[in-house]
Structure 1
């Protein structure tokens, strides 16, 4: 059983019953593209809530007034800079859910990575992380970067994204995923153990010889965007 596999301490697999039921629906080949989009969104909401409950902290903000004129203490969150980093294409399906959870708008930086079909190694084809510095000379990187990657298969793409963000200068990384294979999740989690937390709705034990999860979800990008993989 997958539950008996020893995972790194920085990997968190949800036990939420509603989440498990939605993941089961998402696995079905008969689930339409519209339903795939809805389920990815709803699963991302639940996983994101669980992850952010541990990753951010409430802190007092300035005093404000209610509509009746009463003073109250506002609440903000720390860290003060957060960014979302969806892995193209499928990570786009998770952006709106995490934006919904966060109390204020945050930057969205896109990373384009694909697996070379023969070697299954990651190849970066797009990166819009800001490469400038702030006016005070400090690094422009967000203190917390949230990688959105619905499926972690071999882990190469996720590990490459982690390394890119670490080189960018982010201090902590959360990886949010719908489902991952054990070897790939371990690879991603061990890329930067002290700086990364991986949160998933579910985990599969095996990969096929083509690097696909078994039983998996199929190609989430193709399912979301009604395309056929190369």
Structure 2
């Protein structure tokens, strides 16, 4: 099972499970859906960054009472956030609030082709760099997307970032299917850690997680039934 793979981490936080139960309900409106995704992303993000980052001593400073203390910052030194459009935008504020300093946000726009369910990239604003120039490449990319259903979209994002030159990726999601998570875990095992709030058994013929939360993008942006 994907959940026993070393680069897959599933939260066991009881508050997250209760919030996910609320998120699953079709009675939950768009405003509450956005808030619940934010809160679940904060919980999973805390767990992911606790393992994925470290602190380093950076110098000395003085408190308002005049006491000297050692200052610390997080490592690695260069980090970026990569939301997958549309629904990944709902997790950006949660991750930014956890990081001590603002970090660059690079967007990837992807959608699933309706018949094949294959990912199609329609937008990419990763900074261009010349071959051999690693100065614009962060040491860590944090990919955020609420749902890993078939796994194809997150795998495409991983491939894009790997081709860009990122040496390490943390992917954070609210919910995944067992098969989708297994596929994502196998995409680049030595370079990617996946952190999810919960795992459902499978997907239906349309590639939607069962029981899942529905189309989270449509729920967030009030485009259900478009």
**Aligned equivalents of 1:141 and 1:5: distance in 2?**
29
Aligned pairs for 1:31-42 (under 5 A) are 31-42=28-39
Is the 1:139–1:169 Cα contact (8 Å) retained in structure 2? Answer: no
Is the 1:153–1:211 Cα contact (8 Å) retained in structure 2? Answer: yes
Is the 2:7–2:189 Cα contact (8 Å) retained in structure 1? Answer: yes
For residues 132-188 of structure 1, give each alpha carbon's deviation from its aligned partner in whole angstroms, at most 9, with x where no partner exists: 259x94341111001101000100000000000001111110110000001111111
**Aligned equivalents of 1:5 and 1:171: distance in 2?**
22
**Alpha-carbon offset, residue 61 of structure 1:** 1.3
Counterpart for residue 175 of structure 1: 171
Following TM superposition, the consecutive aligned residue runs of length 4 or more in structure 1 with deviations greater than 6 angstroms are: none
For residues 97-155 of structure 1, give each alpha carbon's deviation from its aligned partner in whole angstroms, at most 9, with x where no partner exists: 00000011100000000000000000000000001259x94341111001101000100
**Aligned equivalents of 2:152 and 2:71: distance in 1?**
42
Counterpart for residue 218 of structure 1: 214
For residues 26-55 of structure 1, give each alpha carbon's deviation from its aligned partner in whole angstroms, at most 9, with x where no partner exists: 000001111101100000000000000000
1:205 and 2:173 correspond:
no
**Aligned equivalents of 1:66 and 1:189: distance in 2?**
45
Aligned length: 226
1:130 and 2:127 correspond:
yes
TM-score, normalised to structure 2, is 0.96
**Aligned equivalents of 2:130 and 2:47: distance in 1?**
32
Counterpart for residue 71 of structure 1: 68
**Aligned equivalents of 1:75 and 1:140: distance in 2?**
24
- Structure 1: gaps of 5 or more residues: none
TM-score, normalised to structure 1, is 0.94
Counterpart for residue 56 of structure 1: 53
Deviates more, 1:204-213 or 1:67-76: 67-76
**Aligned equivalents of 1:171 and 1:103: distance in 2?**
22
1:10 and 2:19 correspond:
no
Tell me which of 190, 199, 204 is aligned to 2:186. 190
Counterpart for residue 93 of structure 2: 96
**Alpha-carbon offset, residue 6 of structure 1:** 5.4
